């Protein structure tokens, strides 16, 4: 299982971009990189995932290093509602797997 | 399309009783995952099921815990003879494909007294 390392906490100002890093040096070639976030007392929310290429969706962008040992989640304009714990995880793309292995995550604080 | 539904949202059991947690995946999703979050800790994978099959139960405690995902009806996580250490939030997630994005339910918060 791919292990991940993230900073414990980060701060951002509202309406500024945020770059959340994740190291996953043990990731295998078929592991997808997933990002989720969790607000207090709620279930995790899917943010984005990718394999090799950078990915964009309405919530965020995912930049994956060429060697795939790290990735960065980019929130283009942080809002107060983006304050949450952000988790990155590796999960296999091969059949019969797909479990997410969560680390401690990064607690993002957004200041008005 | 309704999201993942879990019930009950809160469950209180005395030590030694049984707890049954239910999860209805999103329509069209045949992959179900269960995770546990202990107080002040991160999410831990428990079990991965497809319809009528347990695919990966490597995170499930060997005793007292079982899971099923029948052909009809919700997935059930069953905890027999609960102990205080079972108090946690239990989240279910469903996915349209193996390795795909997972959509989580609101969780069931189990309290063992």
DSSP string, A19-70: EEEEE-TT--TTEEEEEEEE-TTS--EEEEEESSS-EE-SS-EEEE-TTSSE
Within an 8 Å CB–CB cutoff, is residue B33 touching chain A?
yes
pLDDT at A2: 62
* pLDDT tops 70 at residue A95: no
Select the residue of A49, A103, A104 nearest B101 (Cβ to Cβ): A49
* A31, A44, A45: best to mutate for the B interface, most B CBs within 10 A: A44
Q: pLDDT tens digits, chain B, 113 residues: what are they?
A: 579 999 999 999 999 999 999 999 999 999 999 999 998 788 999 999 998 899 999 999 999 999 999 988 999 999 999 999 999 999 999 999 877 889 999 999 999 99
pLDDT tens-digit series, residues A53-76: 899 999 999 999 998 889 999 999
% of residues, chain A, pLDDT over 90: 62
SS3 A80: helix
- Cβ A100–B43 below 8 Å, yes or no? yes
CA B66, CA A103: separation in Å to the nearest integer? 25
Which residues of chain A from 71 to 90 reach within 8 Å of chain B, CB to CB? 87
- Cβ A99–B42 below 8 Å, yes or no? no
Q: Which residue has the tokens 């965020």?
A: A60
CA distance A97 to chain B (A): 6
How many Cβ pairs within 8 Å bridge chains A and B?
A: 70
Q: Quick one: A55 exposed, middle or buried, by C-beta within 10 A (0-12, 13-18, 19+)? A: middle
* pLDDT tops 90 at residue A94: no
- The answer to whether B31 and B23 are in contact (CB under 8 A) is no
CA B46, CA A33: separation in Å to the nearest integer? 20
- The answer to whether A52 and A29 are in contact (CB under 8 A) is no
Q: Residue B34's closest CA among A36, A93, A43? A: A43
% of residues, chain A, pLDDT over 70: 93
* B41, B43, B44: best to mutate for the A interface, most A CBs within 10 A: B43
CA distance A16 to chain B (A): 27
Q: How many CB atoms lie within 10 A of CB A109?
A: 13
Q: Quick one: A45 exposed, middle or buried, by C-beta within 10 A (0-12, 13-18, 19+)? A: middle
Partners of A72 in the beta sheet?
A21, A63
Q: What is the mean pLDDT of chain A?
A: 89
Which residues in chain B are contacts of A49 at CB distance < 8 A?
100-101
């Amino acid at each position: 299982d791919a292990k991940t390392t993230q900073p414990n906490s980060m701060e951002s100002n509202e309406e500024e971009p945020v770059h959340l890093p994740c190291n996953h040096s043990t990731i295998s070639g078929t592991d997808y990189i997933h990002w989720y976030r969790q607000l207090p007392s709620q279930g995790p929310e899917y943010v984005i995932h990718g394999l090799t290429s950078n990915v964009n969706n309405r919530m965020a962008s995912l930049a994956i290093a060429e060697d795939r040992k790290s990735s960065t989640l980019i929130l283009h304009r942080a809002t107060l509602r983006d304050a949450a714990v952000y988790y990155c995880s590796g999960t296999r793309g091969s059949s019969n797997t797909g479990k997410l292995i969560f680390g401690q995550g990064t607690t993002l604080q957004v200041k008005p | 399309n309704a999201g993942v539904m879990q019930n009950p949202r809160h469950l209180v059991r005395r030590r030694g009783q049984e707890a049954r947690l239910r999860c209805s995946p999103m329509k069209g999703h045949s992959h179900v995952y269960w995770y546990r979050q202990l107080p002040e800790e991160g999410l831990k994978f428990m079990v991965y099921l497809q319809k009528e099959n347990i695919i990966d139960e490597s995170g499930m405690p060997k005793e007292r815990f079982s899971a099923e995902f029948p052909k009809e009806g919700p997935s059930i996580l069953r905890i027999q003879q609960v102990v205080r250490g079972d108090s946690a939030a239990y989240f279910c997630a469903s996915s349209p494909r193996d390795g795909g994005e997972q959509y989580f339910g609101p969780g069931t918060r189990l309290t063992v007294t």
